């Protein structure tokens, strides 16, 4: 069947391909682009040029963005440091705190389902003599607060726990973690990349000391991010990881990406205005997608807590179906599978394995990341498409047939070749 024929048979309001991978990156909101454009052309000044109007215009734009970001998360503008994105923000936070507070202790606590930008940064610090505790998660993807309490000792200087997980969308009890850290005199950093702009985040109410943010996950441009660094109660200090002209109060040198920063600011302003309505709409679409899949298919499971979850996230396992085959069957829909997320090898997701899922279940998982520009018509089309493909693939699966006949696969002794 040709592309033209496919297009003719599409339901109203659906055009292919459909993008449902908004946790990987989100399309830029046209309003964000519009705000950025002048700073590529007529207002091209360097924000650090203090001698003329070109520099002043750029500096003013940067300060406005600082206010917009601070307003969204309940911070003050002076607590916002600009970076190139989430990976740099996480590196600056964790390495910068580790270096600054080395005299006080060398113990860091994180969790096994963090993003690689946190896990690999912690692994690097272990080479320099830091001790890192990697907390396990429960079957629902949440950490156990009691585990965290037990892990904190007199040498603990930093706890880094993400606000919301990029694969399973699970939201950690951030306010509770922050309160515990403050009681123990430990700095609390959170990777807020998936949460900021999607759910309410208030750094004061949640006792967050340092938080990483990136623009491209909230309909802004790629290559720009921010780090919130608390200035009082307690005042947090961070050792710079990039040296130079002393930009960003000495914490991050380098000429500022003014157009990107303007875009991040505008994205935050839009999120602040529209978040409640957008979250309700996404949650409704996600719930209908889940209901439709569960009504038509057996052996499907939601991965991670359903109650504590981002409104646009649905991570499901379609057991007895290989995730990669499923992806090939729905190649006009952009989603991601529970394997090969971070490399070219077909490894099952370490996040799903941490929940206690077997390799077969992890491999059969699909992450749907719904976003601002998805529609109900797209969700219905995707549900129908997946139901058709899963049924077809299971017809070809001897394992599914055996399970339907009541055979316990775990009891079978497979003969070696």
Question: Which of the residues are catalytic?
Answer: 341
Contacts of 41 (CB under 8 A, 6+ apart): none
Dist. CA 81–CA 250, nearest whole Å:
10
What are the tokens at 133? 């505790």
Dist. CA 210–CA 187, nearest whole Å:
8
DSSP 118-165: HHHHHHHHHHTT-EEEEE---TTSPPPHHHHHHH--TTEEEEE--SB-
Dist. CA 247–CA 411, nearest whole Å:
63
Count CA atoms within 13 Å of residue 384 on its CB side: 9
Pairing of strands 336-337, 300-302: unpaired
What are the tokens at 259? 């157009």
Dist. CA 412–CA 410, nearest whole Å:
6
- Nearest of 271, 218, 276 to residue 26 by alpha carbon: 218
Count CA atoms within 13 Å of residue 395 on its CB side: 6
Dist. CA 53–CA 59, nearest whole Å:
10
Backbone φ and ψ of 393, nearest 5°: -65, -35
DSSP alpha helix (H) spans, 185-257:
none
């Amino acid at each position: 069947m040709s592309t033209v024929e496919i297009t003719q048979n599409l339901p109203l309001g659906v055009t292919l391909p459909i993008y449902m991978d908004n946790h990987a990156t989100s399309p830029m909101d046209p309003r964000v682009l519009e705000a950025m454009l002048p700073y590529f052309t007529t207002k091209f000044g360097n924000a650090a040029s203090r001698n003329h109007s070109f520099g002043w215009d750029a500096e003013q734009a940067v300060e406005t963005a600082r206010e917009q970001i601070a307003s969204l998360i309940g911070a003050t503008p002076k607590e916002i440091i600009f970076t190139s994105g989430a990976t740099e923000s996480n590196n600056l936070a964790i390495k910068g705190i580790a270096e600054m507070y080395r005299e006080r202790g060398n113990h860091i606590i994180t969790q096994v389902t963090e993003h690689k930008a946190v896990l690999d940064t912690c692994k690097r610090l272990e080479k320099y003599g830091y001790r890192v505790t990697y907390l396990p998660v429960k079957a629902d993807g949440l950490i156990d607060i009691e585990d965290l309490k037990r892990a904190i000792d007199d040498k603990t200087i930093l706890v880094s726990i993400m606000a919301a997980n990029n694969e399973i969308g699970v939201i950690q009890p951030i306010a509770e973690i922050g309160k515990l850290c403050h009681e123990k005199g430990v700095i609390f950093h959170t990777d807020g990349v998936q949460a900021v702009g999607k759910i309410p985040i208030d750094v004061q109410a949640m006792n967050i000391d340092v938080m990483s943010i990136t623009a491209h996950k909230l309909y802004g441009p790629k290559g720009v991010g921010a780090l919130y660094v608390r200035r009082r109660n307690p005042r947090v200090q961070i050792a710079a990881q990039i040296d130079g002209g002393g930009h960003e109060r000495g914490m991050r040198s380098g000429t500022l990406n003014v157009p990107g920063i303007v875009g991040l600011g505008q994205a935050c302003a839009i999120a602040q205005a529209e978040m409640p309505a957008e979250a309700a709409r996404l949650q409704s679409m996600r719930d209908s997608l889940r209901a439709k899949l569960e009504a038509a298919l057996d052996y499907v499971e939601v991965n991670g807590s359903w109650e504590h979850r981002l409104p646009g996230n649905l991570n499901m396992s379609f057991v007895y179906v290989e995730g990669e085959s499923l992806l090939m069957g729905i190649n006009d829909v952009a989603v991601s599978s529970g394997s090969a997320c971070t490399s070219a090898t077909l490894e099952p997701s370490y996040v799903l394995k941490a929940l206690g899922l077997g390799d077969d279940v992890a491999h059969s998982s699909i992450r749907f990341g719904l976003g601002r520009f998805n529609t109900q018509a797209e969700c219905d089309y995707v549900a129908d498409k997946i139901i058709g493909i899963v049924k077809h693939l299971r017809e070809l699966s001897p394992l599914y047939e055996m399970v339907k006949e009541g055979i316990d696969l775990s009891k079978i002794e497979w003969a070696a070749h």
